[in-house]
A and B are shown apart, each in its own frame.
Chain A
Amino acid sequence: MNFPHFSKLIVACLILFPSFTGCISEDKSDNELVILTYDVNALSDSMISKFENSTGLEVRMIKVEDSGSILSYLIQNKGVGNVDLAIGLDNTYLPTAIELDLLEEVSIVKDSISGKNSSSQMPALGPYDGNLATPFDMGFICLNYDSSIVDGLNFTIPTSLWNLTEPEWKGKVALPSPITSSPGRGFMLATLDYFDWQNNDDDFSNWWTAMKDNDAIITSGWSEAYETHYTGGYGEYTEGYIGDAHITVSYCHSPGVESWYNGNWTKSASLDIDKTAFFQVEYASAIKGGNSENAEKFIEYLISSEVNSQMPVENLMYSVLEGQNLPEENGYRFNSIIPSNPAVISNVDIGKNIEIWLEEWNEAMIKSE
């Protein structure tokens, strides 16, 4: 063996190996706040830099696809401690996160948040009021329809979900999948209550199968349904628009958002059929193993009046603060409804049954009548 060469080799390896693994990994410092989120609009540049400037903390974001991916990520990383704060779990994912012990308790003062005891029709603390998650925005998920086409003449305005399984609606309803989309999941949960899941085993499955057979468009995310398929929204003017659905799942205040952007006009309207709307709350949670102190600071900032009152404008969702409402300008408030009789499913039930329900949904969708 050629010794001079061999020793050069050993030295080379010794230098390369550690430098490759060691100094390149990023250790979290105490001055850092790592936020796990999907694309939450509220977390804008200015909002973040204000926080950084006032606290001296440095914010780093880990972006995943959607709400569901946040949960998956947390489960995959349980105990690793590389994430301090998760923003964007909603009340359909939260029960699982709690059950799997992924979250850390924080002591946030929630007095300013609309709660169980308030007369608000949208109590942000209603679904969950513990210390593992703090609400930061909310809204009612419900069906929206294009009122310029669904006007009683060209299309009858549905009064029951079964209407949507009729031939007139074939291929004209766009629904996000409950497996991958949180509004989709919320809507699915509403249909469970609509079809009285506790007392009735079959209607829920039968309806979804009938919808599938009626060529309902199932999308992986909300934006595909709303922007690409729905004719009632702004999708018309965007690239990739197809415009084959006149009803979709969105929020009861989405028509208000449309109106606000369009200067007080919209053709989109919310469908207020009993038990088809689902109350969704989105949460910010400190993660077990992360820096909960820093996380707390951000949560407090997120529910501060200064930030949270801007939710309708920055994030297109309701603020969770007591006494807050949608702005009146441009018909935002006027065109938004609060459903008279929304679906009700408790967090406990969600936690216990969500996997079963998703499986039932899946079975219904692969079945053919």
Chain B
Amino acid sequence: MNNTQKFFSILAVFIYSAITIIPIVFAIDRLILVSGFNPILWIQSLDQNYVSQNSIAFTFVQAFFSTILTVLIGFPVAWVLGRHSWPFKAFLRSILTLPFVIPAIIAAMGFLTITGPYGLDVRTDESTWWWTLIFSHAWFNIALIIRFCEPVLSTLNPNFEEQLLLLPNGVTFFSRLKNLWIPILTPSIAAASCMTFVFSFTSFALVKWITVRDKTLESTMAEVSSSAGIQGYMEPSSDIVLGASLIQFLVLLASLWLMSFLQQRRQTKWQQASELFVQNKNAKGWFVLAPAIFFVQLPIISVILGSFRVRDVSENSNSFKWSTEGWSEAFQGSYSFPPLSEALFNSLIYSFGTLIIALPLGYILASTIHQLEENNFNLSRILEIYTMLPFALSAAMIGLGIMLGIIKLNPSAAYDFRFLPVLAHVMITVPFVVRIILPALRSFDLSYDENAKVLGMSNFSRFFKIKLPLMKGSILVATVFTLAMSLGEFGASFIVARNSEWITLPLLIDSLRGKPMKDPLTVPSSNAVATVLMLITMILFLIVEKFRNTKDRGMF
């Protein structure tokens, strides 16, 4: 590493720390000031406060069952998709993994519509809430199962299965399970399950809207966030936040560690199929894929339809008419709610602002880790884990961290600094940028750079003329991912963006939905905003799919 590179690296680590770690440290410091340092007490406070009672149990149980259901639904889809050839396979894969990038608040809207009076009409039955929540989590996360397992299946050298057929003790079902499928799929399924568990564990928007009575640690934290960190006033809120975030942090850290451990043991030992390998078609697979596609599309379509369906108030009934009034209401806004255009503008500004910071920052961090890998492996590992820390923080904690942390530094900035939500978004997206760019850097063929050196090109030239163009694909993926995550971010923004002028699309959806339901335009207008957000997200996602390396096995 030359001096310029060193400088950039140190600067990047410094900025990253300033944005990410320092506010969290300040926030925790402030909370501890109120609550005292007593982790046992913090955790006990969760059971000693009515507002958070049972949230620990509920969080674990729903995350656990969500994970199981996700695997049960997602694995057959991954199997069928990976084992056979399909027309428009890439497109099918995109549709089936689309839910992952749809903002949770929109999924909540979709599922409420499905279970509501215009759908299955089971909402009044409380016993259906649990299942609705689990299914909505599964809906989100089957993308992970598919993303992790399908590439393994479609690039597996078929010889492995064929060889077993020709060996007496290999041919039985159990033998194939034991000697082929379990060893080869377990790391992928386990890794995807870990991530599903993590996402379900920190679920907020879905829990807030679907299981009205029960709360997860995340939704509890969001609820008490406004009164946390104040000495002498509602001090239990601080206890609750510390207790909840401690548990979350430990669980998330454990899950991340487990996932990275499992990924290291992945199937690099198993030979990949030659590119000439052609899979067979299997029409029976449509019995799995068709329902899956329906399941995936249903909430999305519900939201779009819901934006045009307006309850007819002339009668006190559930009759409705189709109209664009909801869209007009969303576009016009009111003093209660900014117009859709303003929220869209804010969302776009924030997401581009996030991109401008997160992309170069993440790139430099990834580059630093990669360069350290050669000379100082331990330091590179430490730095790699350091860049993953925000993964171990939930969105609510990040939001709260910024609020309380910034307040300590500069109280008025918390409410006057228009770009405060960007900090939250940067915190959330930088780890993703690192995780996308780093593998690309690792697989970057050094001979390209070396050849350019001997041709006399300078550092600067080589970077812009050789390296960046070759890294174009992964940079684009990182760009689009950052934009999409920032656009759809809800949890942290819920806490940070209190000023209604900072409202983003997801927050607008939530606010509109929270209006008294008497107004028949409440639901259609929030669905209209949701539709806009969804369309933008889908477009971004489809762009990514074109550039993704289909042999990639992983989240992104």
Direct chain A–B contact by Cβ atoms under 8 Å = yes
A-to-B contact residues, CB < 8 Å: 1-2, 5-6, 9, 20-21, 24-28, 39, 41, 43-45, 48, 60-65, 68-69, 71-73, 75-77, 79-82, 96, 100, 177, 179-180, 217-220, 223-224, 227-228, 234-244, 261-262, 355, 361-362, 365-366
Contact between chains at A26 and B416 (CB < 8 Å): yes
Q: Is B336 an interface residue (CB 8 A)?
A: yes
List, in ascending order, chain B residues with CB within 8 A of A62's CB.
Answer: 415, 498-500
* Contact of A9 with B51 at beta-carbon distance under 8 Å, contacts A76-B229, A82-B416 already known: no
Contact between chains at B500 and A61 (CB < 8 Å): yes
Q: Tell me the bound Cα distance from A344 to B98 in angstroms.
A: 57
List, in ascending order, chain B residues with CB within 8 A of A20's CB.
Answer: 419
Q: Is B226 an interface residue (CB 8 A)?
A: yes
Q: Is B4 an interface residue (CB 8 A)?
A: yes
Among the stretches B134-142, B173-181, B510-518, B541-549, the one at the interface with A is B510-518
Q: Mark B40-61, 1 if CB is under 8 A from A, else 0.
A: 0000000111110100000000
Give residues 336-395 of B contacting A (CB, 8 Å).
Answer: 336
Q: Tell me the bound Cα distance from A179 to B113 in angstroms.
A: 30
Contact between chains at A24 and B418 (CB < 8 Å): yes
Contact between chains at A9 and B7 (CB < 8 Å): yes
**Can you report 22 A-B residue pairs in the complex whose CB atoms are below 8 A from each other?**
A6-B7, A9-B7, A25-B417, A26-B416, A28-B416, A39-B515, A63-B498, A63-B499, A71-B233, A73-B498, A81-B412, A219-B212, A223-B516, A236-B316, A237-B316, A238-B522, A241-B123, A242-B123, A355-B234, A361-B50, A362-B49, A365-B53
List, in ascending order, chain B residues with CB within 8 A of A239's CB.
Answer: 112-113, 116-117, 123, 517, 523
List, in ascending order, chain A residues with CB within 8 A of B459's CB.
Answer: 2
Q: Is B552 an interface residue (CB 8 A)?
A: no
List, in ascending order, chain A residues with CB within 8 A of B413's CB.
Answer: 25
* Nearest opposing residue in chain A for B230, CB measure: A75
List, in ascending order, chain A residues with CB within 8 A of B417's CB.
Answer: 21, 24-25
Q: Tell me the bound Cα distance from A48 to B333 in angstroms.
A: 14
Q: Tell me the bound Cα distance from A61 to B8 in angstroms.
A: 41
Q: Is B213 an interface residue (CB 8 A)?
A: yes
Contact between chains at B418 and A25 (CB < 8 Å): yes
List, in ascending order, chain A residues with CB within 8 A of B411's CB.
Answer: 76-77, 79-80
Q: Tell me the bound Cα distance from A148 to B316 in angstroms.
A: 16
3 closest A-B pairs (Cβ-Cβ)? A238-B517, A365-B50, A72-B227
List, in ascending order, chain B residues with CB within 8 A of A96's CB.
Answer: 233
List, in ascending order, chain B residues with CB within 8 A of A25's CB.
Answer: 412-413, 416-418
Please tell me which one of the listed residues B2, B233, B334, B498 contacts residue A45 in the complex, with CB atoms under 8 A apart: B334
Contact between chains at A39 and B336 (CB < 8 Å): yes
Q: Tell me the bound Cα distance from A163 to B155 in angstroms.
A: 68
Q: Tell me the bound Cα distance from A48 to B334 in angstroms.
A: 11
Q: Tell me the bound Cα distance from A44 to B213 in angstroms.
A: 32
List, in ascending order, chain A residues with CB within 8 A of B229's CB.
Answer: 76
Contact between chains at B123 and A240 (CB < 8 Å): yes
List, in ascending order, chain A residues with CB within 8 A of B412's CB.
Answer: 25, 80-82
Please tell me which one of the listed residues A69, A243, A365 contacts residue B124 in the complex, with CB atoms under 8 A apart: A243
Question: What distance in Å separates the Cβ of A284 from its nearest Cβ neighbour in chain B?
Answer: 16
Question: What distance in Å separates the Cβ of A98 from its nearest Cβ neighbour in chain B?
Answer: 13
Please tell me which one of the listed residues A9, A82, A217, A366 contacts residue B48 in the complex, with CB atoms under 8 A apart: A366
List, in ascending order, chain B residues with CB within 8 A of A220's CB.
Answer: 51, 223
List, in ascending order, chain B residues with CB within 8 A of A219's CB.
Answer: 212
Please tell me which one of the listed residues A2, A43, A237 contacts residue B318 in the complex, with CB atoms under 8 A apart: A237
Q: Tell me the bound Cα distance from A82 to B171 in angstroms.
A: 75
* Contact of A63 with B51 at beta-carbon distance under 8 Å, contacts A76-B230, A96-B233, A217-B213 already known: no
**Interface of chain A, helix or strand or loop or mixed?**
mixed
* Contact of A227 with B227 at beta-carbon distance under 8 Å, contacts A177-B50, A365-B50 already known: no
Question: What distance in Å separates the Cβ of A21 from its nearest Cβ neighbour in chain B?
Answer: 8
Q: Is B162 an interface residue (CB 8 A)?
A: no
Give the bracket for the number of chain B residues in contact with chain A. Answer: 35 or more
List, in ascending order, chain A residues with CB within 8 A of B499's CB.
Answer: 62-63
* Nearest opposing residue in chain B for A96, CB measure: B233
Contact between chains at A223 and B50 (CB < 8 Å): no
List, in ascending order, chain A residues with CB within 8 A of B223's CB.
Answer: 180, 220
Question: What distance in Å separates the Cβ of B424 from its nearest Cβ neighbour in chain A?
Answer: 16
List, in ascending order, chain A residues with CB within 8 A of B51's CB.
Answer: 177, 179-180, 220, 362
* Nearest opposing residue in chain B for A242, CB measure: B124
Contact between chains at A27 and B226 (CB < 8 Å): no
Most-contacted residue by chain A among B2, B49, B523 (CB, 10 A): B49
List, in ascending order, chain B residues with CB within 8 A of A48's CB.
Answer: 335
* Nearest opposing residue in chain B for A229, CB measure: B212
Q: Tell me the bound Cα distance from A227 to B123 in angstroms.
A: 13
Q: Tell me the bound Cα distance from A362 to B240 in angstroms.
A: 14
List, in ascending order, chain B residues with CB within 8 A of A72's CB.
Answer: 226-227, 230, 233-234
Contact between chains at B50 and A366 (CB < 8 Å): yes
Q: Is B445 an interface residue (CB 8 A)?
A: no
List, in ascending order, chain B residues with CB within 8 A of A82's CB.
Answer: 412, 415-416
List, in ascending order, chain A residues with CB within 8 A of B316's CB.
Answer: 234, 236-237, 262
Question: What distance in Å separates the Cβ of B208 from its nearest Cβ neighbour in chain A?
Answer: 10
Q: Tell me the bound Cα distance from A26 to B420 in angstroms.
A: 12
List, in ascending order, chain A residues with CB within 8 A of B334's CB.
Answer: 44-45
Q: Tell me the bound Cα distance from A323 to B523 in angstroms.
A: 38
Q: Tell me the bound Cα distance from A71 to B234 in angstroms.
A: 11
* Nearest opposing residue in chain A for B413, CB measure: A25
* Nearest opposing residue in chain A for B235, CB measure: A355
List, in ascending order, chain B residues with CB within 8 A of A228's CB.
Answer: 212
Give residues 487-516 of B contacting A (CB, 8 Å).
Answer: 498-501, 511, 514-516
Q: Is B464 an interface residue (CB 8 A)?
A: no
Please tell me which one of the listed residues A6, A60, A179, A223 contacts residue B514 in the complex, with CB atoms under 8 A apart: A223
Question: What distance in Å separates the Cβ of B1 from its nearest Cβ neighbour in chain A?
Answer: 13
Contact between chains at A6 and B4 (CB < 8 Å): yes
Q: Tell me the bound Cα distance from A6 to B2 in angstroms.
A: 12
Contact between chains at B500 and A63 (CB < 8 Å): yes
Question: What distance in Å separates the Cβ of A165 from its nearest Cβ neighbour in chain B?
Answer: 17
Q: Tell me the bound Cα distance from A216 to B406 in angstroms.
A: 40
Q: Is B163 an interface residue (CB 8 A)?
A: no
Q: Is B126 an interface residue (CB 8 A)?
A: yes
Q: Is B264 an interface residue (CB 8 A)?
A: no
Q: Tell me the bound Cα distance from A35 to B275 in angstroms.
A: 64
List, in ascending order, chain B residues with CB within 8 A of A238's CB.
Answer: 311, 517-518, 522
Question: What distance in Å separates the Cβ of A225 from its nearest Cβ neighbour in chain B?
Answer: 10
* Nearest opposing residue in chain A for B412, CB measure: A80
Question: What distance in Å separates the Cβ of B302 from its nearest Cβ neighbour in chain A?
Answer: 11
Question: What distance in Å separates the Cβ of A122 from its nearest Cβ neighbour in chain B?
Answer: 24
Question: What distance in Å separates the Cβ of B236 from its nearest Cβ neighbour in chain A?
Answer: 8
List, in ascending order, chain A residues with CB within 8 A of B234's CB.
Answer: 72, 355
Contact between chains at A237 and B226 (CB < 8 Å): no
List, in ascending order, chain B residues with CB within 8 A of A39's CB.
Answer: 336, 514-515
Contact between chains at A65 and B226 (CB < 8 Å): yes
Q: Is B317 an interface residue (CB 8 A)?
A: yes
Q: Is B287 an interface residue (CB 8 A)?
A: no
Contact between chains at B415 and A80 (CB < 8 Å): yes
